[in-house]
Amino acid sequence: MIRFVALALATFVAVPGCRKGETPDVYRGPITAERISIANERVRIRADWEDTIAQIESEAGKATWGAVDQRAWAVIEGSKCSSLLIKRKRGYVGSVRYQPPIGPDAETDYDECAELAGPARTARR
């Protein structure tokens, strides 16, 4: 029984495409809303924090904003902004907030997304 629970838990918290000890290469191309969306699909709550950061960086590049327990990837393409914000809880991913592309008419959400993207963070990078 214990073996089954451990296997199920290990499967639940694993980040697809990233094995312990392997660090994928950081993506160095332009960040796009599509890359942020793909990275969002790979993030799992309660997954290892370091593995998750490495996985997202392999899809979307380095974070556009960061704090001690938070990282964000955001981009403004044309008049639309898209973002992914993850928060750490202890040594794992505690929460995820994905914002699909939105325009300035979404005021508060757009302003927050644009702040995460930074003044020079556009698809041109």
Q: Is 9 helix (H, G, I), strand (E, B) or coil?
A: helix
What is the model's pLDDT at position 24? 86
When the pLDDT of each residue in the chain is averaged and rounded to a whole number, the result is 83
List, for the chain, all residue ranges whose pLDDT scores fall below the cut of 50: 1-16, 120-125
Q: What is the pLDDT of residues 62-94, one digit of tens each?
A: 999 999 999 999 999 999 999 999 999 999 999
Which residues does 66 contact at the CB level (< 8 Å), separation at least 6? 72
Burial class, 20, CB count within 10 angstroms (exposed 0-12 / middle 13-18 / buried 19+): exposed
What pLDDT was estimated at residue 34? 97
> Hey, what are 106's tokens?
């979404």
